[in-house]
Every structure is written in structure tokens, then in C-alpha cells.
Chain A
Amino acid sequence: MQAASTVRAGNSHSRVRGILLRLAGVGVLLGFWQLMAVLLPPSRLVGPWNAVSDLVHHYNNDPLISFFGFSAAGYGGLMYFTVRNVIVGVAVGGLCGVVGGVALARTERTRAATEPALVTLGTVPILAVMPLFVIWFGVASYTSVILVALYTTILLAQYAMRAAENLPPIYEARAKTCGARMGTRVIRVLVPGVMPEILGGLRVALAFSWGLEVFAETLGAPSGLGQGIQILSNTDNVQGILAIVLLIAAVALLVDALLMAAARLLFRWR
């Protein structure tokens, strides 16, 4: 077991290096941004520092946003709406996708019938469908949630199917010979066996869902960062838009980091 701890130590060492590399990348990006801000007039682009300062100032209260009568008074309130929608959408879609995909993979005939349909659905540009959703469901908070959930379901069902096919059949055979029924096999064998492979899909779904949600909000929503961007762009408020973009990026990174931390704990066995 000494060997195992050596391996761990190696991992944490390379993790530190990975973090440093990532920080360096962010630094280069910010430097480039600052440079462009110096070259361009403030009506086109402001520097990162100005954006951050705008963000801090208007996090709790922004006159323009209050003026438009959202329940939110500042960027923070808008963010709450967006984050809630993305998390609910991805969670609901993820659950449907994983359970559905695994179940489909285990029933030969349904799989043959659904797999091509799913792949085709997956190629539909989901953003193009949003205006239809607004027509169908109206300007409601759940309209974008449905969009995000649908996208996540379609994506994760495909991941789950593939993962279930890749899971060695011997694992389920062993459970069967121990007398395990279908429910036990799903909970104790199929789901833990496929989760690590699905994690990648969950990350993709989450990352893409921020854009999806915010774009959907710009088309019509009672609140959210997308509506914020929409309002600010009507008044050419470049600084405010950049502040919101920064906020979205920060929140997306934070949620992804939380997901990865949870995954590290859950998949210790790998």
C-alpha cells in the first residue's frame, strides 16, 4: 500500500502543476484583453478591471435592471435565476438521460428503434428550436429549463447507452449468479459501472447549458443573465455586458469545479 500512496503523491504534484498551467493560460487571456482594451475606445471594449468593478458595483443593485421591473435588483439576482435553471435542467435531464439510456441499452429491441432517432435528434441545432419553445410554453421561467433538460437528456442518453454497452457483461452475470434482481443490478452494478464514463458527458452538458440558458433568456424570460445582457445591449453598455459575461464564466467554472470535486470523491475507486 506504500506504492499506492506514492502514486497519490505523484497525482497531487501533477495536479498542482496543472492548476499553475491553467492560471497561466487565464493570465495570458486577461493580458490580451487588457491590450485590446487599450487599443480600442471604451465604447467598444473596456479592460477586465473595469468589468470586474462594474460587476462589484451592480451585483446587488443596478438601476437599469430595477427599472425594467425584474424581481432581481442587480446582477446577483439575475444570476440566481440562471444558475437555478441550469442546475434544475441539467439534473432533471441527466437523471432522465442516464436511467433512460441504461434501460434502453439493456432492451435489445428498443435500442435498435431509438438509437438512430436519438442520434438524429442530437444533430438538431438546439438553439434554433428555442423560438418554437417560446411560442409553445410562453415567456416563463421553465421554458429555458425544458430546453436545457431536453438537450441534457438527449446527450446523456447517448453517453449512457454507450457506457452500458462498454460495461463488461461479466459484471451483470456475476450479480445474477448471486441472485440479484433487476433493481439491485441497476443500482449496485449498472449505475456505478457506467457513471465514470458518463461524467464526461455530464460536464459537456453542463458547460453547453450555460450558453443555452443565457441565449434562451435573451429570447424571452422573466429574469436571468440573458435578459440582463439584452437590456444592457439596448443601451450600448459594453462594460455591463462584459461584467455579466465574466460572471457567467466564473459561475460556470465554479460549478464545474464542484462537480469534479464530487466526482473525485465518488470515483475514488478508479
Chain B
Amino acid sequence: MKTARISSQKSEDSDSSQAANISAGRTTGALQSLGDRAPNADVRLDAVSVTFMRSNGDRVTAIENVDLTVKTGELLCVIGRSGEGKTTLLNVVAGLVEPSEGRVLVGEREIHGTGADRGVIFQGDAVYPWMRVADNVGFGLRVKGVRRPERERVVDEYLELVGLSHVAKSWPRELSGGMRSRVAVASVFANDPEVLLADEPFGALDYVTRRRLQGVMLDLWQRTGKTILFVTHDVEEALLLATRIIVVGGGHVLDDRPVNLARPRDEEVLASSEAVETRRRLLSYLGLEPGAGSAVGQTNE
């Protein structure tokens, strides 16, 4: 492990430099082996619809007849306005919601219900307050029956990667929101799922913390080569992370295009004409720039 760690640092909110040390562009070895085995972890949605019954008896079709394939190793960002079916799409892949119609496949397998092969970073704080930080990160491994020495090794590794080694023995209540988000990220990666599902994981964080965690996320993705579905309502976040962006609206996939921007995506790359064009298009889908391509509201093509 070559990642430098400033252990003497004792600032109260430690969303500081440790995480930033993990530079987004480099891969420092340790976890390469995970990326190398790259099994078929394609995610395929085959004519998937989800209909909910509201308590007042109304039926809501959250996603309708969606076909989507996410290739192994892709980092797909799903954007869309609130209430348009992003979480439902993710939950269907997670197995938390059964499709009303259609099927979901991971690799060659049709999936039913949840499984440790698909890890989720939830939209809210799902860190267990009754477990210390290290136990939270090791929870999935413990469920899998991984023995303690091996578990501790993996937990230490991921805590180090997200810059939280110094709070391994702390209770979650002693951590800031950003640190808890890092616990959530480490917990999911430590569990080594084939597919990683993130539902607006950094939505509740301040700008600086969010930028740092996006760096952490990119770094872990590049080290592990996981297939990632990343839901966000933030166009900048999608531009920074994605290999491909889809726009979800009214339960349909409205737009689906690769993002071919160079990495690392610094200010210059994000100001390039391609980035500007993509940004403009995405914003218009979100209804923020009236005029060009206002497909929102007329989703029934």
C-alpha cells in the first residue's frame, strides 16, 4: 500500500486531505487483481416495467418497458428529475423491487431478489449506527462468512483507500456526513460485488466534500473495473464520472449516449466543446434551458 496517509492530522472534520491523496487518475496496484478477473458482469434490462400501487389505490408506472444493457466495467450515469423513476430502475437491478413485467439479467443469469453480487450505495444514510466503522465496512464480508483475519485485512485496505483508517474504531455518530458517505462507499467495495449501484450517494453533501468523494469513487472504479450504475440529478457529476449517460424521464430512457471526454476530467476537458454540448443537451432534458430539445413532458414517443 503506497497511498500516503497523514496520520498525525487531527482535524475534527477529516473530510480533508487523506481522501484527496488518492488521485483519480492513477492506479497504484494493490487491487488490480480484482480488475483483472473481469467476469461477465453485463447488466441487461429486458422490457422491464414496474408498476406501484399507491395506498389510495392509484397505479403508478415508475418505469415502462425499459431495454438497457450496461457493459462490464462501464460507469453509467443515470440522470433525471426527481420522481422520474431513477431509484426504481436501480432497485430493480438490486432486486429490492421485482419487475411487474420483463426481466433483469446479470451476466447470463436472470436475477430474482437481492444478492451480494449487486452492492448498493443508498440514497440515504444506511451506515449502521450500532456498529463501529470497521464493522460496518466488514458487514457484508461477515454475512458471507469470511473469517476474521481475512475480513480485517480487506477492511483495513478499503478504510485506507477512502482515508478513514484513523476512525476505524469510532461509532458512526462521531463522524461527519462526508465521512459516513465514505464508510458507505468502502462498505460496498469491500464486499466485492460484480455490479455496484449508487443512488445519488453524494446528493446531501456540500460541494467540496462531494468533489472529493467523486474522486474516491473514480479511483475505486479504476482500480477494480466494476460495472457501476450511478444515479444522480447533477449534470456536472455525470460529466465528471460517466463513460455513458442515460436520461430517464416519465419511466422511459429519453437519451443514451457515451461520454468520450478524456481523463482526468479537469477544468479544461470540462470546458471543451464536446463537454459544453453534452451539458447543454442534458440540461435541456432536465428542463433547465427551455428551447432546444425539450423532450421532457412529451415522453410518449
Contacts and interface: CB of A to CB of B under 8 A. Distances in A.
Interface of A: 1-4, 168, 170-171, 173-180, 184, 188-189, 192-193, 267-270
A176 B140 contact: no
Contacts of A4: 170, 174
B144 interface: yes
Interface of B: 10, 12, 94-96, 113-116, 118-120, 122, 124-126, 128-132, 139-140, 143-144, 167, 170-174, 191
Contacts of B143: 175, 178-180, 184, 188
Contacts of B140: 178-179
B191 A189 contact: no
22 contacts: A1-B167, A3-B12, A170-B124, A170-B125, A173-B120, A173-B122, A174-B122, A174-B128, A175-B139, A176-B113, A177-B94, A177-B114, A177-B118, A178-B140, A178-B144, A178-B191, A179-B114, A188-B139, A269-B129, A269-B130, A269-B173, A270-B173
B86 to A, nearest CB: 16
B91 to A, nearest CB: 9
Given A2-B10, A179-B115, A174 B120 contact: yes
B124 A2 contact: no
Contacts of A188: 139, 143
Nearest to A184: B143
A177 B119 CA distance: 6
B128 A177 contact: no
Contacts of B116: 177-179
Contacts of B118: 177
Contacts of A168: 124, 126
A176 B170 CA distance: 24
Contacts of A176: 95-96, 113-114
Given A174-B122, A176-B96, A177-B115, 17 more contacts: A2-B12, A4-B170, A171-B126, A171-B128, A173-B126, A177-B94, A177-B96, A177-B118, A177-B119, A179-B116, A179-B143, A180-B143, A188-B143, A192-B130, A268-B171, A269-B173, A270-B173
Contacts of A178: 116, 119, 139-140, 143-144, 191
Query: In terms of DSSP, what is the predominant structure of the interface of chain B?
Result: loop
Contacts of A180: 143
A170 B124 CA distance: 8
A38 B131 CA distance: 57
A125 B10 CA distance: 58
Contacts of A177: 94-96, 114-116, 118-120
A184 B142 CA distance: 10
Contacts of B12: 2-3
A11 B126 CA distance: 27
B53 to A, nearest CB: 13
3 closest cross-chain pairs (CB), A and B: A179-B116, A178-B140, A176-B114
Nearest to B122: A170
A170 B139 contact: no
A88 to B, nearest CB: 28
Nearest to A267: B130
Nearest to A3: B12
A83 B218 CA distance: 61
Nearest to A266: B130
Contacts of A179: 114-116, 140, 143-144
A137 to B, nearest CB: 40
Nearest to A191: B130
A267 B96 CA distance: 30
A3 B122 CA distance: 28
A177 B115 CA distance: 5
B130 A193 contact: yes
Contact of B96 (A173, A189, A270): A173
B18 to A, nearest CB: 15
B96 to A, nearest CB: 6
A268 B139 CA distance: 19
B87 to A, nearest CB: 11
Contacts of A2: 10, 12
A160 B144 CA distance: 28
A4 B130 CA distance: 16
B96 A174 contact: no
